[in-house]
Structure 1
């Protein structure tokens, strides 16, 4: 690494830091990191666990498949990453969660971020992340497309690569970046929030319906949350579902109530 602080720094919260070697060890990104144009640090949530098994996930409240990542280890990892960035004078540090339910990442957003100090990027795993962590620490939720990956690492690699290559000095010919393209569930709806143990985290409880044991009410709550989030963040998906006849009368009544 070149002497001096990098102009851009990424702090990645991940269970699998080894997945980022394509970015750090290959091509123009590796060369730029060696030159000190950007830097990368990892924060593993398992480091912030307190049990012998270093547990980072648990079963979801309300039932359902898969496991949900615990809030506490993620929050501790993010807080330590933010403190490290602050020591370098980076006081404006967004916390970005790679998520299929997030805002669509595009070239305009890459250009916007290329003029910043970087960010903390959280890479989820399993079925989802406890919503209370998202509410408390995440400032942006970002998606790279309408598909689901096994975790956020590949998506984070794509976002970081798109941003880093726009930094001055990364490409041999900066005009190459200016000439780039885009320069300047089953029904296609976004997912509902997820919660796991503990039942009360820092004074915040999970929605009561998820503890009711009434699977019909739980399904209705999840459907309504899905409709609400999709209407807010991706209204185009609502229109697509409507055109395909995938919204019933109850769905339309709920959307009208919003």
Structure 2
């Protein structure tokens, strides 16, 4: 999908080798020991900053709208969510800085204004895989990338809930039937069933999301108040 989107010009992806910007012209090293001691190596500020300047220059020469937003991919970052993907999809230019080793010199993160993001509470060998996950989630929200843009609207996390169960043909498979309500043709009942299933699935699998959703929808599941009718003088009905 992303390949077709790039071919059609909906988005462009470029990669940059930070080693090419190293001041060490012999070994092209980009890491060194940390001040204060500790295990592992740290990515240095200089090659990252020089690479950033080159990327920013190319963006400006390409007449990109506004400054590129810089995302630092790190397990220390705020959690990358569908809401974050929607927000970042509105940007014209994004730069992803992929951490390695023990991370990146804090000074360059501050200098370039990088925003730390994480895809989960675990550690990878580098930020490349995490950045690819984020790019995929963001790119599919760019208008034109998906042929059916409703696919990006009617799915898990879009409204704060996990997606409802879905079924395709045949109606019966290994004695398991498609729920009758989905065959009814009653769109109102189908929508109500899907919402109910989404809420229940979220409650079972992601209780923290369920709690957030219920807080935003306190009236969900409560019986609707019946309207009271009273008789006015003159025989007219009034509804409260």
The yes-or-no answer on 1:41 pairing with 2:11 is: no
Is contact 1:97-1:138 (8 Å) kept?
Answer: no
Out of 47, 53, 78, the position equivalent to 2:52 is: 78
Distance in 1, matches of 2:9 and 2:76, equals: 34
Is contact 2:23-2:47 (8 Å) kept?
Answer: no
Tell me how many residue pairs correspond in the alignment. Answer: 158
Q: Which runs of 5+ in 1 are unaligned?
A: 1-27, 185-235, 237-258
Distance in 2, matches of 1:138 and 1:151, equals: 20
2:30 — aligned with what? 56
Write the deviation string for residues 126-179 of structure 1: whole angstroms up to 9, x where unpaired.
111111111111331111111111111011000000010111221121101001
Out of 73, 94, 97, the position equivalent to 2:72 is: 97
Is contact 1:104-1:142 (8 Å) kept?
Answer: yes
1:169 — aligned with what? 144
Q: Offset of 1:77 from its aligned partner?
A: 0.4
Q: Which runs of 5+ in 2 are unaligned?
A: 160-207, 209-240
SS at match of 1:42: coil
CA RMSD, Structure 1 to Structure 2 (Å): 1.4
Runs of 4+ in 1 over 6 A off after TM superposition: none
Is contact 1:70-1:129 (8 Å) kept?
Answer: yes
1:106 — aligned with what? 81
SS at match of 2:111: helix
SS at match of 1:74: helix
Distance in 2, matches of 1:69 and 1:83, equals: 22
Distance in 2, matches of 1:113 and 1:130, equals: 25
1:69 — aligned with what? 43
Give the TM-score normalised by structure 1. 0.59
Give the structure with the larger helix fraction. 1
Is contact 1:29-1:170 (8 Å) kept?
Answer: yes
